[in-house]
Chain A
Amino acid sequence: EAEVAQSPRYKITEKSQAVAFWCDPISGHATLYWYRQILGQGPELLVQFQDESVVDDSQLPKDRFSAERLKGVDSTLKIQPAELGDSAMYLCASSPGRTGELFFGEGSRLTVL
């Protein structure tokens, strides 16, 4: 069964360091999402791509976060510099289209010390 791949699963870093997460969506899925999930809460959208274009990054803290999906396939989410409040699970999801079902990867757990 096709899956959304994410790496790393776990990342521990010190504040002010740079962090990067990678996501490979299900093959053929045009829409890719990055969500942030704080412990005990539901996922919150950071950025949404349609192919290689950003269609929603209204909740992305652009002073420190960046995301790209250069060839419309895999994607990278970067944080620089990391802050203590960035500790969370970063989830990638993909969908065949903007109104289709969302499928999540296993997530990347970030701890900022």
Chain B
Amino acid sequence: GQQLNQSPQSMFIQEGEDVSMNCTSSSIFNTWLWYKQDPGEGPVLLIALYKAGELTSNGRLTAQFGITRKDSFLNISASIPSDVGIYFCAGLSTSGTYKYIFGTGTRLKVLA
């Protein structure tokens, strides 16, 4: 099935550093969602974006809906050990049936 490209695939960072990741698509989306998933658990919704150019924060997390509507970005400031996990983006495709398409994931590992 179709999946969105996420970059980077994985990253090691030092505790306290800022993190940036992105998600790109060849299609235009009307909604972007960002999730965090811990091992063996379901994804947990972090941030939802509904308008091109929109910038939304949730604590240390900030996400942006790209102007072209084909990409989205997630930043984590001052990372802490509990930020470890896999981050997924999801874009809402409105061509045909409305359905969310997920990214390939960015695995984040934080070194204390």
Query: Do chains A and B stick together as partners?
Result: yes
Q: Taking beta carbons and an 8 Å cutoff, which residues of A are in contact with B?
A: 4, 6, 33, 35, 40-45, 48, 55-56, 59, 91, 98-99, 101-107, 109
B residues less than 8 Å from A44 (CB atoms): 1, 3, 102
Please name the 8 residue pairs, one residue from A and one from B, whose CB atoms are nearest each other, closest first.
Answer: A42-B102, A104-B42, A98-B98, A44-B1, A56-B97, A107-B42, A106-B42, A104-B43
Residues in A whose Cβ lies below 8 Å from that of B98? 98-99
| Per-residue interface assignment for chain B, residues 44 to 79, with 1 indicating a CB less than 8 Å from any chain A CB and 0 otherwise | 110010000000000000000000000000000000
A33 vs B90: C-alpha distance in the bound complex, in angstroms? 14
Q: What is the chain A residue whose CB lies nearest that of B97?
A: A56
Nearest CB on B from A2, distance (A): 13
Beyond A41-B104, A42-B103, A103-B45, is A59–B31 a contact (Cβ under 8 Å)?
no
In chain B, residues 33-48, which have Cβ atoms closer than 8 Å to a Cβ of chain A? 33, 35, 40-45, 48
In the complex, A66→B42 CA distance in Å? 22
Chain A residues with CB under 8 A of B99: 45, 48, 56
Which of A4, A33, A42, A101 has a CB less than 8 Å from the CB of B105?
A42
Report the interface size class on chain B. 20 to 34
Q: Per-residue 0/1 for B2-20: is the Cβ within 8 Å of any A Cβ (1 yes, 0 no)?
A: 0110000000000000000
Q: Are A101 and B102 in contact (CB under 8 A)?
A: no
Chain A residue nearest to B47 in the complex (CB): A101
Min CB–CB distance A98 → chain B (angstroms): 4
19 contacts between A and B (CB under 8 A): A35-B102, A40-B105, A42-B3, A42-B4, A42-B102, A42-B104, A43-B43, A44-B1, A44-B102, A45-B1, A56-B97, A91-B43, A99-B31, A99-B92, A99-B94, A99-B98, A102-B100, A104-B42, A104-B43
